[in-house]
Amino acid sequence: MTTAFYWDERCFWHGGGHYALTVPAGGLVQPMPDGLPESPETKRRLKNLLEVSGLIHDLDTRTAPAATMEDLSLIHPMGFLRKFKELSDAGGGELGLRTPFGRGGYEIAALSAGLARRALAEVLRGRVDNAYALSRPPGHHCLPEYPNGFCLLANIAIAIESARAGGLCERIAVVDWDVHHGNGTEAIFYDRPDVLTISLHQERNYPLDTGDAEDQGAGAGHGANINIPLPPGTGHSGYLEVMERIVQPALALYRPEAIVVACGYDAAAVDPLGRMLATADTFRQMTRMMMESAADLCEGRLVLVHEGGYSQMYVPFCGHAVLEELSGSTIHAPDPLAETLAARQPGPRFDHWLSTHIAELEDFFL
């Protein structure tokens, strides 16, 4: 089995601006060394761990050209793209909410989208079995004319529309397990039946006003958007139950030609922006479930595109677990927090309440 791993050093060079976590510095707020939590170190350290463990040698490492203006314009209006490019050439700035960039930010964002675009295209062409795109900056919050939540371009949406324009596919499913609601991807495909969007997210984390279960798409797209808002502390078993009872059945009903995962690691237990208690093994097992669904429905065609995840220490172990599973490698990087996080999982009463909540959502969607 060939698992392609798409990355580019230049994606690590995107700057996070003058921030303290998610708060603009100024007044009584001092800047923090990394600025926004969306720093290069989580992604760089993931690749470093792959190299140190040797798993990198079981992957087909590749890069990709930047998405062209033509590719980007399939999602983003030309006026927005020109403004982004001009501001980038002039030294940088910020066009949306919590989306600062420096000189060359446009080119780096286009490269990030290009990694996702090439990963999906190569899987659809059958040139590789599955793929992982180490995209940065991320993309699932970006609206067509309004970047937000660290996302400058809609990477996954661009990849899908480019593949459709090239005649490579007609029906794609997106499963977003980032801790934050995938509002950008949702908005882009909200009234369309040809892309199924499923978002598992911590309820009312970010954005504060999107991600309700009642938001199921509009017009011809009604029913092709599934939001699964989950309470803080959902934990390992809760995520797997949601995947088994709602996500996999929804995919089976839709029967996509490929599955794309918006692969954020901020549902991990030690993430500074999430409170969900997932572990590296959670992400491993969710990847296994997506591989099973892809094998059953679309000849194994599966692409994971890196989104959020802000623990510089723990993201590498979560990503390593995912890539172990995706590639079938026997190389293992033991989770240094496994015992601690197992002890912190929710108790039986919470699990019972959560299972009842999931059953209600299951009845609602299926």
Structure tokens at 92: 């940088």
CB 216 within 8 A of CB 200: no
Alpha carbon 70 to chain centroid distance? 23
Question: How many whole angstroms separate alpha carbon 162 and alpha carbon 51?
Answer: 31
Catalytic residue among 14, 140, 141, 201: 141
**Amino acid identity of 182?**
G
Q: CB under 8 Å to 128, separation ≥6 — which residues?
A: 2, 3, 4, 60, 122
**Amino acid identity of 33?**
P
Query: What does the angle CA 82 – CA 88 – CA 91 come to, to the nearest 5 degrees?
Result: 145
Residue 84, number of CB atoms within 10 A of its CB: 24
Q: CB under 8 Å to 63, separation ≥6 — which residues?
A: 6, 7, 8, 115
Strand (E) or helix (H) holding 119? helix 105-124
The DSSP bridge pattern shows strands 130-133 and 3-6 to be: parallel
CA atoms lying within 13 Å on the CB side of residue 333:
26
Question: How many whole angstroms separate alpha carbon 334 and alpha carbon 274?
Answer: 23
The verdict on whether 141 is a catalytic residue reads: yes
Structure-token match 């006026």, residue found: 79
Question: How many whole angstroms separate alpha carbon 195 and alpha carbon 343?
Answer: 39
Cα four-point dihedral sign 300, 305, 310, 314: positive
* Angle, helices 280-297/315-327, rounded to nearest 10 degrees: 30
Distances in Å between the alpha carbon of 46 and those of 15, 16, 89? 18, 19, 30
Residues annotated catalytic, as ranges: 141
